[in-house]
Amino acid sequence: MANLITKLGRLQMKNPVMTASGTFGYGTEYSDFMDLSRIGCIIVKGTTLRERQGNQYPRMAETASGMLNAVGLQNKGVNYFIEHIYPTIKDLDTNVIVNVSGSEIDDYVKTAEIINELDKIPGIELNISCPNVKEGGMAFGVSCAAAAKVVSAVRKVYDKELMVKLSPNVTDIAEIAKAVEDTGADSISLINTLLGMAVNAKTRKPILSTITGGLSGPAVKPIALRMVWQVAHAVKVPVVGLGGIMNATDAIEFMLAGATAIQVGTANFINPAISEKIVEGINDYLDTNNFSSVAEIIGALEI
Amino acid sequence: MKKFILDLKITQKVQLNKQNVLLKLTSKDLLPEILPGQFAEIRVDGSPATFLRRPISINFIDSARNELWLLVQIVGEGTKHMAEMNPGDLLNAILPLGNTFTIPSDKNAKIVLIGGGVGVAPLYMLGEKLKKLGYKCIFLLGARSRSDLLLLNEFEKIGQVHTTTEDGSHGEKGYVTQHSLLFNSDFDYIYTCGPTPMMKAVASYAAKNNIFCEVSLENMMGCGIGACLCCVTDTTEGNLCVCTEGPVFNITKLKWQI
């Protein structure tokens, strides 16, 4: 049994396996399928200051080795979260952090301020990369100046783990990563979904109500790996890798490329027990290859 | 209800017509309790085109044989692959998912179950349960043509069956909502599943005649367990997941223009 304990900025985790926001509900949806206390961290779905109904159906299109979604941050708002969800998850024997989204800097700041008061929420993931909201989200994640502005504003009011989730829909992701590191991010997660599109040839219409949506699943893995590798070389803060991780081998590849921890996303839909299996698989890999701790494989890519 | 991930083994495959097969499956463990209207998310391996699971409604549970029936209509790659499987093959399923139909409180309630095409699948299980509980059910089943009417013999064993076909090859010619059974209606309960235009027409009939009506929706799904929020339908309570808040909805909750 190798040492899987992972330190991510101010956050200490049992192991490097986290579940990606928007793919794991509030965790409790998965409790029939696995022991939630076995994973390192649950990131609950995108939470905004006020309730959002999200986009119209259809919001999803299956694509080759992946899927497009255009949910549009449907959630009942941060106050509902505190009143109705927080009591059901605060005593889970694992880290639970909240993905915070917004369309204006003030929304991010207010939401982060409110969550800062919750004892059992040791961190937030700042989502500056959602491609499915017209009025913002990704807009903050595609320019260094805008990213720096929102991160520094949130940093002022939030004193726990501040992880910033980056968009891959940019020319130079390392530049954006540096900008959020410089303005106070404790860690950086990437990648959010890639902007894509699906067309129905029969009806000659787009499949998604929003025309475009975010691509996830194994189809995006090579891009995610490349970006994690680039960012891990550009910043000193820990990097969290995600994008198409379906099994422990995928997870290990991201860690070799420089990720301190990883997030399991779309794979949760295919196998709702997979996150726990990935923890076991990482441990098996470490044991088989005579590593005594998971830290030894971070960035251990031999070039 | 606790959900399970199970490997189900195909025991029998019945080719109902060119587009539809009935798969009978068993599990090495005792199957969990499953209610009418609930569904399973089926994994189809082997092709990058079938990445996500397929939601398939449970057609029937044969407790004595520890068997579960799935009625599969071939609509795309995933269902085509399922229809090509054979006895002995394994299908990975997550079940039971979703809610169930409301059982009437009055045992003498006049009940009609209206199904179209492969939409008859959950209605068979519901009808069988209602019959066991002592209710009398009437089935009104519609399809394009005689060969598209599925499980007709099975339905006849559990209630009175009326049919419509678009080409008039069986029962009355036309759509289910044009059937003479509905002319002088005194039904108390309508349960329906089928193509959306059909369900909307049934819902419109029920609303006009003030009849309790539940529909079973079939939206595209990602996870089937309420995590991805992809399968939503617009309701009086906002966007709700069909996989967890449904698939059965009372028509008064849906924002259908009927």
CATH of the domain at A259: 3.20.20.70
Task: Could you list the beta-strand ranges (E) of chain B.
Answer: 4-15, 20-26, 39-43, 54-62, 67-73, 90-97, 111-116, 137-143, 160-165, 172-173, 189-193, 212-216, 232-235, 238-241, 248-250
Q: Quickly state the pLDDT bin for A130 (edges 50, 70, 90).
A: confident
Number of domains, chain A: 1
Question: Is residue A104 within 8 Å of A50, Cβ to Cβ?
Answer: no
Domain around B93: 4-97
Looking at B97, B131, B161, which one is the last position of a domain? Answer: B97
**Residues B76, B155, B40, A86, Cα dihedral to 10°:** 130
Looking at B64, B97, B130, which one is the last position of a domain? Answer: B97
Length of chain B: 258
CB contact under 8 A, A30 and B228: no
* Residues of A in Cβ contact (< 8 Å) with B4: 32
Q: Which of A55, A202, A270, A275 is the best mutation test for B, with the most CBs of B within 10 A?
A: A270
* Residues of B in Cβ contact (< 8 Å) with A33: 3, 5
B153 assigned to some structural domain: yes
B256 assigned to some structural domain: no
Q: Quickly state the pLDDT bin for B86 (edges 50, 70, 90).
A: very high
Tell me the C-alpha distance between A110 and B184, whole Å. Answer: 60
Query: Are residues B120 and B158 part of one domain?
Result: yes
Query: Are residues B86 and B129 part of one domain?
Result: no
Q: Quickly state the pLDDT bin for A131 (edges 50, 70, 90).
A: confident
Which token pair is A183?
């303005």
A302 assigned to some structural domain: no
Is this complex scored with an ipTM above 0.85? yes
A23 reaches B (C-beta below 8 A): yes
Residue range B16-46, pLDDT digits in tens: 999 999 999 999 999 999 999 999 999 998 7
Looking at B40, B68, B97, which one is the last position of a domain? Answer: B97
Query: Are residues B11 and B53 part of one domain?
Result: yes
Query: Are residues B171 and B72 part of one domain?
Result: no
B59 assigned to some structural domain: yes
Tell me what pLDDT residue A137 has: 65
Q: For residues B212-248, b (16+ Cβ closer than 10 Å) or e, as one string? A: bbbbbbbbbbbbbbbbbbbbbbebeeebbbbbbbbbb
Tell me which H or E stretch contains A78.
helix A78-80
Active-site residue list of A: 130
> Mind telling me how many Å the CA of B54 is from chain A's nearest CA?
10
Tell me what pLDDT residue B160 has: 96
Q: Is B109 exposed, middle or buried (0-12, 13-18, 19+ CB in 10 A)?
A: middle
B106 assigned to some structural domain: no
**Does residue A134 have a pLDDT over 90?**
no
A60 reaches B (C-beta below 8 A): yes
A247 reaches B (C-beta below 8 A): no
Number of domains, chain B: 2
A201 assigned to some structural domain: no
Domain around A254: 6-56+71-195+216-297
Which of B230, B231, B239 is closest, CB to CB, to A53? B239
* Residues of A in Cβ contact (< 8 Å) with B222: 60, 67, 69, 269
Q: Which of B230, B241, B242 is the best mutation test for A, with the most CBs of A within 10 A?
A: B230
A206 assigned to some structural domain: no
